[in-house]
Structure 1
Amino acid sequence: MAAASQGSRSSRPQRRAPQGRPPQDGYGVYTYPNSFFRYEGEWKGGKTHGRGKLLFKDGSYYEGEFADGEIMGQGRRHWTSTGNTYSGQFVFGEPQGHGVMEYKAGGRYEGELCHGVREGHGRLVDQDGRVYWGSFHNNKRHGRGHMAFPSGLGSVAHCSGLVYRGMWINGHPVGTAGVFALFGCCEGSCPAFV
């Protein structure tokens, strides 16, 4: 995506707007008055519209589609503060719809998002290689889903306070394993994977 936009950038003449004003139509570059944002891309009626790249002073960026001055459509967003990168659908600047989030700490989520958080169905691979596919609510595993462990070992915590740790095959505990009591009771759906 970046290579295509760089190639098209060199073939288009860049227009700089009069001092302090954004370009009206076509391709142009504009640094916003607060100097935190810099946009290079397509404009329509003085608003970002079409394909472009919004650069943030801290090194973060968004590259993709804009509509009527808003980040809307398909794009890619990188956050310098976390090192995370999201590619997929955006609505009013937020990851929303279907997309892929790559985490700097390791791991990856592919699935549905709403207002930037995991919501709906998706597949999460954590930094240790554990894979969960199923339902998410408010950025957490919720409801029906499947969990796969690379080593076949895992744990599940029940809201009664009991924790099972041991070997699993096809989602069922097998063999002899320790059962440990937890203090307190969890709220929400049971069981919860730990």
Structure 2
Amino acid sequence: MDNYSGVNEQQKLSQKIVELSLNSSTISKIFQLADVDIQNRHRRSPQKDERINELLRKIPSEIRQIYDCLGPIYEINPKYQIIYQNDGSIYFGQGVEGRKIGTGIQIWPEQGNILDGNWENDELEGQCRMVYSNKDIFECLFKQGRANGFGVFQSQKKTVKGIWIDNNLSGEGQEFRKDGQRYYGQFQDGQKNGQGIIYFKDGCKYEGELRKNREDGMGTMIWSDCSYYDGEFRLGVIKGRGVYSSGNGYSLMGYFQEEVQKDRKQKIQRIIYKHENGSKLIIEKIRQL
């Protein structure tokens, strides 16, 4: 088996992502292709090697179990060598004169982290995956030691898929939370930033501008009862001029301001409508935040 074939495939995929127009349908198709590629590599049965088993025994058992389920990214071969690193980690893989060159596995016994990757002159280059001691998993294409390309991050609370640029999630991406909330849209420096769509776990939907992970700018909130607000948002809440429609033909136009909830688990979303003539109206929505 050619250890570099997977790297070349991922480089081609990453280049294709950059070149294509990143509309929502294109992004979904590309993400599906990348997911299939990652899943296919996880189904491989790499050659067993007692040396790596011995090294893995230095890692906490729960992290070792996660790694055993995933398996190494690249096939282990008898020419792999053990190189002890200055930071206390142990490298098991291809190398020349103490430098990491080629495929291998790096283990941090004290921290409990495990890194699978391909190296060029001690820098990550190609498809790599880190399993962290807190059970987070990050797999991405690396260039010159930094994440640059399509990647997938998984934690106990969410899964994020998208394009990483210089170690930061930037551009089109997707986030799926374990509680059912989904996000499709743009990221910048690891945060939701730009145009996007949020599907909340209670059936409501937001579509519009976001800044630093919060609804901010022009957007539309559609509630599960088919009513909607189209207008301005600030720092994650409705605030500014807009239009509210009850869904049965009744509508309001003017200034709206949502009460900021200290307890985000409250089920009542309260919005105050202010008409130009000074009259006020309170709109309440039952939510499952």
TM-score norm. by structure 2 comes to 0.52
Q: Percent identity?
A: 18
d(CA) in 2 for partners of 1:146, 1:88: 24
1:168 to 233, 247, 258: 247
CA spacing shift, 1:16–1:70, aligned 2, 3 Å = farther
User: How many residues in Structure 1 have an aligned counterpart in Structure 2?
Assistant: 176
Task: Please state whether the residue corresponding to 1:3 is helix, strand or coil.
Answer: helix
1:128 to 202, 210, 223: 202
Alignment correspondent of 2:23: none
Over aligned residue pairs, what C-alpha RMSD do you find? 3.4
1:26 to 102, 120, 126: 102
Alignment correspondent of 1:12: 75
Q: After the TM superposition, which of the residue ranges 124-133 and 142-151 deviates more from structure 2? A: 142-151
AA aligned opposite 2:123: K
2:150 to 49, 57, 74: 74
2:113 to 31, 37, 41: 37
Deviation at 1:126, TM superposition (A): 0.7
C-alpha distance after superposition, 1:101-125 (max 9, x if no partner): 1112221111111122111111111
Q: After the TM superposition, which of the residue ranges 4-13 and 37-46 deviates more from structure 2? A: 4-13
d(CA) in 2 for partners of 1:18, 1:39: 14
2:128 to 40, 43, 52: 52
User: Would you say the 8 A contact 1:86–1:95 is kept in 2?
Assistant: no
d(CA) in 2 for partners of 1:71, 1:51: 9
Please say if 1:3 is aligned against 2:39: yes
Structure ID, larger Rg: 2
- Which structure dedicates a bigger proportion of its chain to helix? 2
d(CA) in 2 for partners of 1:158, 1:59: 36
AA aligned opposite 2:82: A
TM-score norm. by structure 1 comes to 0.74
Alignment correspondent of 1:105: 179
Task: Please state whether the residue corresponding to 2:125 is helix, strand or coil.
Answer: strand
CA spacing shift, 1:121–1:4, aligned 2, 3 Å = same
CA spacing shift, 1:166–1:53, aligned 2, 3 Å = same
CA spacing shift, 1:88–1:9, aligned 2, 3 Å = farther
Task: Please state whether the residue corresponding to 1:151 is helix, strand or coil.
Answer: coil
